[in-house]
Amino acid sequence: MQPVTSTTPERLPPTTHLAQRLNHPHYYANSALCLPLPAVLVSSSRASTALTTALLATPVLLSLSAALRKRSENLETLHASTTSQLRLFNLCGLFFCRKPLGISGWWTLAYLSAWLAVSFFLPQPDYLGPSKMRALNGEEFETQILLLPPTSTFSSDSTGATPSPTLAHLVHFHVPHSSTSRDLQMTLSRLSAQYASPSLSFSVLDASADENQGACYDLGLATGPTSRDVPLVRLYVGGKVRAEAPASEGEARRAVRRRRLAEKKARKGGRASEESEEDESEDEREVEQERALSRYRWDTSAAAIERTFKLRERSGLATAAAPS
């Protein structure tokens, strides 16, 4: 009898398809912007040994500090945070060390102009590796995820496919101005290549797009730059929310109630008073604080997302290779 071979894939490491993911002019240009000061330093004969050692050691220390401070498993995000530190170091080094290096102030102006040009014309692209994540607009989200009837009979005739009420949809409400949302988008794109299946789909909705404002408004999600509602990840099954991260308002309220109940039990005989308007306002403040704390502690790693939304079980991979 031949042994049963497991078909359950291992979790994709962050370095998978690295050459494909970083093959974009954005990454090449920002990497090149980290080199002018070291190149000038090596070619200059006026710099002292102490200055040369300090300027060559500083980029290494900045790279290590950026990697340790920015806790992300996506190399695209680590590249952005590291090169931003090194670009600032090059700009300051070219300006403050221009006399010891024997260069003019035009070097600083030229470098700053190149930095601004790259930032404007070559923004960071979306995830370039294998991905099975679909981009939805507001109408597609309402008809395919929330299972609402289409606003026009023509739209239902054109699609022809009936959404399945048992299909699980992991939806990312994305906002491009948030670095957390961009990092989360890349993590979910990597996970979609592994877990997307006939029973689980991955979708993204740009909450900042004008055509999607209606859908976000119906969900009660604020999408402004100071909003605490997005980015957001929800799991929908049959048009209902089954799981959500970070904590929803209902989960925050339950957490506040549990904490207050524990405090009352700890008092042992404390006199209970009727709730007043001040107590209700205090509850609202505590709920907002709980939601803000949940967002601050939100673990957006691939392992945490897989565990929170049970991606392996919902995709069918957990039982696909079970021996008979």
pLDDT > 60? residue 265: yes
pLDDT > 60? residue 156: no
Alpha carbon distances (Å) from 319 to 49, 265, 308? 63, 44, 18
Of the pLDDT bands very low, low, confident and very high (cuts 50, 70, 90), residue 114 is very high
Residue 175's closest CA among 131, 222, 127? 222
Of the pLDDT bands very low, low, confident and very high (cuts 50, 70, 90), residue 157 is very low
**pLDDT tens digits, residue range 212-221?**
988 888 888 8
pLDDT > 60? residue 323: no
Q: How many C-beta atoms lie closer than 10 Å to residue 19's C-beta?
A: 9
Q: Say if residues 69 and 83 touch (Cβ distance below 8 Å).
A: no
The pLDDT of 243-254, averaged and rounded, is 81
The pLDDT of 175-180, averaged and rounded, is 89
**pLDDT tens digits, residue range 190-201?**
999 999 999 999
The dihedral sign for the CA sequence 19, 21, 25, 28: negative
The whole-number pLDDT of residue 187 equals: 94
Q: Which pTM was predicted?
A: 0.80
pLDDT > 70? residue 269: no
The pLDDT of 179-208, averaged and rounded, is 93
What DSSP line would sit under 113-155, residue for residue?
Answer: HHHHHHHHHSPPP---S---EEEE-HHHIIIIIS-PPPSSHHH
CA dist 206 and 203 (Å) reads 10
**pLDDT tens digits, residue range 132-147?**
999 999 899 999 999 8
Of the pLDDT bands very low, low, confident and very high (cuts 50, 70, 90), residue 291 is confident
The percentage of residues in the chain with a pLDDT greater than 90, rounded to a whole number, is: 36
Strands 133-136 and 232-237: unpaired
The whole-number pLDDT of residue 205 equals: 95
CA dist 312 and 21 (Å) reads 24
Cis peptide before 14 (omega within 30 of 0): no
Describe the crossing of helices 277-296 and 249-267 by its angle, rounded to 10 degrees.
Answer: 120
Of the pLDDT bands very low, low, confident and very high (cuts 50, 70, 90), residue 11 is low
* Residue bearing the bigger pLDDT, 77 or 291: 77
**If you average pLDDT over each of 167-176, 260-269, 281-290, which comes out highest?**
167-176
Contacts of 288 (CB under 8 A, 6+ apart): 252
The whole-number pLDDT of residue 153 equals: 52
The whole-number pLDDT of residue 277 equals: 42
* Residue bearing the bigger pLDDT, 272 or 75: 75
* Residue bearing the bigger pLDDT, 287 or 206: 206
Rg (CA), the chain: 26
Mean confidence (pLDDT) of the chain: 81
The pLDDT of 15-39, averaged and rounded, is 91
Strands 133-136 and 200-206: parallel
Q: Say if residues 121 and 94 touch (Cβ distance below 8 Å).
A: no
Q: Which residue is listed with tokens 């923004």?
A: 123
Please tell me the least confidently modeled range out of 14-18, 154-158, 177-181, 200-204: 154-158
Give phi and psi for 120, each to the nearest 5. Answer: -85, -45
Of the pLDDT bands very low, low, confident and very high (cuts 50, 70, 90), residue 170 is very high
Of the pLDDT bands very low, low, confident and very high (cuts 50, 70, 90), residue 16 is confident
Q: Say if residues 244 and 232 touch (Cβ distance below 8 Å).
A: yes
